[in-house]
């Protein structure tokens, strides 16, 4: 879930929360820098001149068990040769540090090595880049298909868990009747879909380009931000990853989509019966996004707002209105 905007402001004020977290990791004095915040706070820092990333969130947004499960999956992928960032233990040897009683609640903090490579931007990607993007996602799914968490009690959430979170958010917003109807429709339909190890497993769920870094020498991507990973159909990951292709002109988007799928299919087949369910996976993603944004705007009041506040508030409000329009159309079609 996205953090509530008022907590983003409070948590990033004077970087106090980040500085508290950094007392547990060795670092160069004065090197801490804010990078971004959404479902987590992320900061850059250096140690002996080498860059690392600090990531933390409140227990309300990310539990310690969820973090443990994420790090276990990352460790497994590294062992299987999938390029990912590496968790860095604290000075006391802990992969996760929990800090209670901060002004924004109990925090769970982790740090990672910097991903090797550089960001790629969609209009400048070559056919090879696009194929490797799809291939990288398929290689991840190939390993996920045989992955078993070492502690069954530390499993990542499932798609059912994600919809339960949506339900809990909508319960606080009873006027969102069309979204509630959409939730029931999506939940009912997804329960009818078949599952197998070749089509269902732990997915990244945010395999977009802003979470990927291209290494020119190795000619491969390194993925970051597995904090949204959940158990779902692999097609969901394809739908989520390629959503940004819609920003391209139609002809270019079709070519890019084809090249991505060509790369994916060079490693793993795509279940055609599930591929036909893409619209339902898009509807799932829209519901989850809607609930995240809706929750982020709860209590969205601050006495002193930063410069980014009003533009972001306008963008998120527009996003909610667009999703409401789609939910209303779906609700009307369902009763015909």
**CATH label of the domain that carries residue 290:** 3.90.1200.10
In a domain, 318, yes or no: yes
Q: What is the DSSP letter of 87?
A: E
Residues 161, 96 share a domain: no
197: phi then psi, degrees, rounded to nearest 5: -65, -20
Q: What is the pLDDT of residue 60?
A: 87
Residues 146, 106 share a domain: no
Place of tokens 């992969």: 95
Structure confidence by residue, pLDDT tens digits, 91-118 = 999 999 999 988 889 999 999 999 999 9
Q: What is the mean pLDDT of residues 234-254?
A: 96
d(CA 229, CA 216): 27
- Asked if residue 89 lies in contact with residue 78, where contact means CB atoms within 8 angstroms, the answer is no
Structure confidence by residue, pLDDT tens digits, 5-46 = 877 877 777 799 999 999 999 999 999 999 988 889 999 999
Q: What is the pLDDT of residue 291?
A: 97
> Strand, helix or coil at 43?
strand
Structure confidence by residue, pLDDT tens digits, 256-281 = 999 999 999 999 999 999 999 999 99
Mean pLDDT of the chain: 93
Q: Which residues contact 110 (CB under 8 A, 6 or more apart)?
A: 54, 55, 56, 67, 71, 87, 95, 96, 97
Q: Report the 3 state secondary structure along 210-263.
A: HHEEEECCCCEEEECCCCCCEEEEHHHHHHHHHHHHHHCCHHHHHHHHHHHHHH
pTM: 0.94
| Better-scored residue on pLDDT, 292 or 38 | 292
Q: What is the pLDDT of residue 120?
A: 96
| Better-scored residue on pLDDT, 176 or 305 | 176
How far is residue 197 CA from its own chain's centroid?
22
Residues 48, 153 share a domain: no
Least confident span in 50-64, 161-175, 284-298, 302-316: 302-316
Residues 258, 176 share a domain: yes
**CATH label of the domain that carries residue 17:** 3.30.200.20
Structure confidence by residue, pLDDT tens digits, 183-205 = 999 999 999 999 999 999 999 99
pLDDT category of residue 1 using cuts at 50, 70 and 90: low
Q: What is the pLDDT of residue 261?
A: 98
| Nearest one of 27, 8, 333, 288 to 161, comparing CA atoms | 288
| Alpha helices for the chain (secondary structure H) | 5-12, 16-22, 64-79, 127-144, 159-171, 177-190, 234-241, 250-265, 272-275, 278-296, 309-334
> Strand, helix or coil at 288?
helix
Domain containing 88: what range? 11-113
d(CA 18, CA 255): 43
Q: What is the pLDDT of residue 333?
A: 87
- Asked if residue 33 lies in contact with residue 53, where contact means CB atoms within 8 angstroms, the answer is no
In a domain, 5, yes or no: no
Q: What is the mean pLDDT of residues 127-131?
A: 98
94: phi then psi, degrees, rounded to nearest 5: -105, 135
Residues 276, 251 share a domain: yes
In a domain, 6, yes or no: no
Q: Is the pLDDT of residue 252 over 70?
A: yes
- Asked if residue 69 lies in contact with residue 230, where contact means CB atoms within 8 angstroms, the answer is no
- Asked if residue 230 lies in contact with residue 157, where contact means CB atoms within 8 angstroms, the answer is yes
Residues 272, 189 share a domain: yes
Residues 198, 109 share a domain: no
Q: What is the pLDDT of residue 336?
A: 67
Residues 312, 188 share a domain: yes
Residues 150, 77 share a domain: no
**Terminal CA-to-CA distance of the chain, rounded, Å?**
33
Least confident span in 45-49, 295-299, 322-326: 295-299
Specify the number of domains making up the chain: 2
Least confident span in 84-93, 269-278, 281-290, 304-313: 304-313
């Amino acid at each position: 879930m996205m953090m509530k905007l008022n907590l983003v402001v409070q948590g990033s004020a004077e970087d106090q929360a980040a500085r508290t977290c950094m007392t547990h990791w060795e670092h160069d004095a004065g090197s801490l820098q804010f990078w971004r915040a959404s479902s987590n706070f992320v900061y850059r820092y250096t140690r002996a001149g080498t860059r690392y990333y600090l990531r933390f969130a409140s227990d309300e947004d990310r539990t310690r068990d969820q973090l443990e499960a994420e790090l276990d999956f990352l460790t497994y992928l590294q062992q299987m040769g999938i390029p990912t960032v590496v968790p860095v233990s604290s000075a006391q040897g802990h992969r996760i540090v929990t800090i209670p009683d901060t002004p924004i609640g109990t925090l769970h903090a982790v740090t990672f090595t910097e991903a090797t490579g550089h960001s790629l931007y969609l209009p400048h990607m070559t056919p090879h880049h696009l194929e490797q993007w799809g291939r990288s996602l398929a290689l991840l799914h190939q390993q996920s298909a045989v992955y078993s968490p070492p502690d069954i009690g530390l499993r990542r959430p499932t798609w059912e868990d994600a919809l339960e979170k949506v339900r809990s958010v909508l319960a606080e917003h009873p006027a969102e009747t069309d979204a509630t109807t959409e939730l029931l429709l999506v939940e009912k339909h997804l329960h009818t879909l078949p599952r197998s190890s070749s089509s269902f497993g732990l997915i990244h769920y945010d395999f977009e380009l802003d979470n990927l870094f291209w290494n020119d020498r190795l000619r491969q991507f390194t993925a970051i931000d597995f904090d949204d990973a959940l158990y779902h159909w692999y097609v969901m990951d394809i739908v989520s990853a390629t959503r940004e292709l819609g920003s391209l002109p139609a002809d270019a988007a079709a070519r890019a989509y084809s090249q991505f799928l060509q790369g994916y299919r060079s490693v793993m087949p795509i279940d055609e019966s599930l591929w036909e369910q893409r619209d339902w996976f898009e509807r799932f993603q829209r519901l989850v996004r809607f609930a995240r944004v809706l929750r982020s705007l709860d209590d969205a009041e601050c006495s002193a707002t930063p410069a980014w506040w009003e533009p972001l508030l306008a963008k998120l409000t527009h996003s909610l209105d667009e999703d409401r329009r789609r939910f209303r159309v779906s609700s009307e079609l369902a009763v015909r």
